[in-house]
Structure 1
Amino acid sequence: MSSATYRTLLRAPGAAAFFLTAAVGRVGIAMTSLGIVWLVYGATGSYATSGLVTGGFAVAEALAGPQLARLIDRFGQSRVLPPALLAHTLAVGALLASVHGHAPAWLMTAGGVLAGATIPQLGALSGARWAALLRGERAAELPTAFSLESLANAVAYLAGPFLVSVLGAGGHPMLGTLLAAALVLSGGLALAAQRRTAPAPESSAFERRRANRSLLRPAFAGLIGFNLSIGVFFGATQVSTTAFTVQHGAADAAALIFAVSSCGSLLAGWLYGLSRWRAASRVQLVVAVSGLALASALPPAVGSPLGLGFISVLTGAAIPPILVLLSVLTDKTVHPAALTQAFTWLNSASAAGSAGAAALSGWVADVAGARYGFAVATAGPVVMVLLAVIGLRGHDRDASRTRRVSAAR
């Protein structure tokens, strides 16, 4: 293992520039949703209203994100990002004006919807640039690049919510939303200005049809299932962990458990990216999701927040390899001209799974207790194991068929 692999990647022409500017914008994206919660609650004193506006933002982001990504794949990042960022900035401005003016809840929700529909997924754009940069002779370095992306995402979702919570708790919720919008705008514009590393847009109608057909393949549907399932794990784990600590009279321990899990995830992602693995990606995926399934079955057996904290380190460590492998398999499955759409669809699937599981596990925790809420979280990794095994068998059959045809020739 050597950190030179990360340094080598970032020394590639233009790589450090697009990675770091996208990372800045990611922090803003990570701040936006929670920032809306603080903003609306600070003005209305209602969690119901803040949840409604935030929910509108999340749903719009999940549904409109792939459509925006489709435009980016067709016309290029440099052409689509500036107007999208301008629209997002105006939408955030409209939301701030409606909240400051104590507008009706439906009008604030409309502002949240517009903000969600126009926010670009800068992580997907950065991932597409890595895939274009490392295609061909450097394809073996792609897992390390996606590990770097995973680390950037983890850091963003540690730093972003922390920043916006500090500002919100300090009585400056509007400043948190403004800072989030400024980071998204500055990071996105800086990324759009870097034309040299941007993937080439679709060049013909025939290529567009090929690219769109690749999104309809059963293999990509399986990847959607993976991300939906990992979203189930995320959403149910967050709610169940919070409920568990509250039931044990240690509500403050929830934040510590999440922090410990995130730190374990960061370390595991760093080490995974530094390693050169000989096993095929699909085999690695079976091992990783099996480990997550086993670890996620342990929380119902623990009796204290301390024990849950130890288990959260195990589950957190299993996440980065899974996310990296899903990105690698997506690059192998989808036509390059549709890669931004593919990454964005996977993000939307994860968000949908997280939202549904959070609601279900919350209901289960209220009715039967937090221990049973963890059963919802376990369901996600179990489904991923089934999908990984089915995908591995299908891959083996295809490889065997290819060898027989080659021998016959």
Structure 2
Amino acid sequence: MSARTVFSPYSRLFAVPGSVAFSLAGWVGRLPAPMLGLGAVLLVSQETGSYGLAGAVSGALALSYGVAGPQWARAMDRRGQGPVLRLAMVVFALSGVAFVAAVVGGAPRWSWFVLAAAVGGSSPNIGSLVRARWAAVLDRAGRQTAFAFEAVADEVVFVVGPPLVTLLATLLAPPVGFLTGVVLGAVGGLWLAALRDTDPPPHPVAGPSTARWWAVLTPTLLVVTVTYLAVGTVFGAIDVVVAGFAEAEGAPALSGVALAVFAAGSLLAGLVYGLARLPGTLATRFVATAVAFGLAAQLLWGVGSLAVLVGVGFLAGLTIAPVLVSGTSLVESRTAPGLLTESLAWTISGLTLGVTVGSAVAGAAVDAWGAETAFAVPAVAAAFVALLGLGGAALVADRPAPAGLVDDRTTG
């Protein structure tokens, strides 16, 4: 079997008119995801010497991002992505510059939290916007491949972003890393906003807003979002602990490389997952991948050197993309028309709210226990991923799709 045959499902995706442009624009727009959180940690820790404060500021950015993301998505479902995204990107760029100026200029520390929250709050989740575009132009058979490709695109971002922001922050100056993320995010977001031909049609709301809330917050969405909160806690904790561990080992510039290894494992797994035709329902796959993620991350208990961290990171990374793709696919399969962007944004909010918790707890743990012992934080959070997946299995199993959608049990 030739490579062309193996990867033909991916090549068919980009035969869709406009798909190359919106996927590339979305990839650029997602670069701030790993750059701003880690960039804030590097910037604030350099200015203050405290990883606890750095993690808290980074967590404030992630918290506001998680809260605001579904609100932006709701507005885009109603009015279209383009006009709302343009407004958001202007605010995002201005608040990002203001945050750096406040930290470097020695402004009161409460203002750092306010401006970090403004940066996160003006950042729509670009990944959910791209996935909504794929869902609008593909049938269900193509969506698993598209969502797997987007998970790979996410991981490429996390391969490129951490080393880039670390090198810029350590070799040039800490503000350069953060500001580069802001510029790339604004460019990608404005580019995506300009691609009107693939913008999903808006769905103005006719009924009361309370009815819409109940339509969005399905049992499936709640289980996936809460499980993703624990996944995000792992991500947030890893960012802070790895940065602290690399510094303790005398190689702070290698923190980005170590984080990229996690993403490299996930990238490989995502490519394979998108091509595989797996048995069982989407619900079964979600539970199985959540358990695999939780078990693999227990390897973090054994990290004692950067070499061991790289090996553990790659193995643990192999479980990241599958749990993210399976959860996204499950939510998409059970979401009514006009609610998809918002529903996907809620899952990303679960991740980012978890990042808030993970960053804050891990920062305090590094300050109190040292970085090596603080690997307990992501390891314990990962165990909760497995428990939440198993505990929510009954809620996500055998649920019929909304009217007009195909039940996931028919898709294999």
Shared topology, TM-score over 0.5? yes
- Deviation of the 1:282 alpha carbon: 1.8
Q: How does 1:6-405 map to 2 (within 5 A)?
A: 6-41=10-45, 50-134=54-138, 138-206=139-207, 211-236=212-237, 258-300=259-301, 309-357=310-358, 359-360=360-361, 363=365, 366=369, 369=373, 373=377, 376-387=380-391, 389-391=393-395, 393-395=397-399
Q: Please give the per-residue CA displacement for 1:19-71, whole angstroms capped at 9, x wherever unaligned.
A: 00110111134322333334445556665654454333222212222212221
How far apart, in 2, do the equivalents of 1:392 and 1:37 lie? 37
Which amino acid in structure 2 is aligned with residue 313 of structure 1?
A: F
Report deviation, 1:148.
1.0
Query: Secondary structure in 1 aligned to 2:292?
Result: helix
List runs of 5+ in structure 1 lacking aligned partners: 399-409
Tell me if the contact between 2:69 and 2:121 (Cα under 8 Å) persists in the aligned partners: yes
Note the C-alpha offset of 1:109.
2.8
Superposed CA RMSD in Å reads 3.4
- Greater gyration radius: 1
| Alpha-carbon distance, 1:373 to partner | 4.5
Counterpart in 2 of 1:402? none
The letter of the residue matching 1:336 is P
* Distance in 1 between residues matched to 2:54 and 2:180, nearest whole Å: 19
Tell me the distance in 1 between the aligned counterparts of 2:381 and 2:172: 35
Taking the aligned partners of 2:49 and 2:241, their CA distance within structure 1 comes to 25
The answer to whether the 8 A contact 1:212-1:338 is kept is no
| Cα pair distance change 1:314/1:73, threshold 3 Å | same
| Cα contact 1:208–1:337 (8 A) shared by 2 | no
Give distance in 1, aligned partners of 2:39 and 2:236: 19
User: Hey, what does 2:410 align to over in structure 1?
Assistant: none
Equivalenced residues, count = 393
Query: Counterpart amino acid of 1:322?
Result: V
* Distance change in 2, residues 1:262/1:209 (3 Å): same
Q: Separation in 2 of the partners of 1:305 and 1:46?
A: 22
Distance 1:311 1:91, change over 3 A: closer
Per-residue CA deviation, residues 316-348 of structure 1 (Å, 9 max, x unaligned), is: 212211111111111122223122222222112
Range with bigger deviation, 292-301 or 264-273: 292-301
Which residue in 2 is equivalent to 1:407?
A: none
In 1, the alpha carbon distance for the partners of 2:119 and 2:86 equals 15
Structure 2 unpaired stretches of 5+: 403-412
Contact 2:68 2:124 (8 Å CA) reproduced: no
Point out the more displaced range, 61-70 or 367-376: 367-376
1:120 maps to amino acid: P
| Inter-CA distance 293–95: structure 2 relative to 1 (3 Å threshold) | closer
Alignment partners' CA distance in 1, 2:100 and 2:361:
32
Residue 355 of structure 1 aligns to a residue whose secondary structure is helix
Deviation at 1:235, TM superposition (A): 4.1
Q: Secondary structure at the match of 1:127?
A: helix
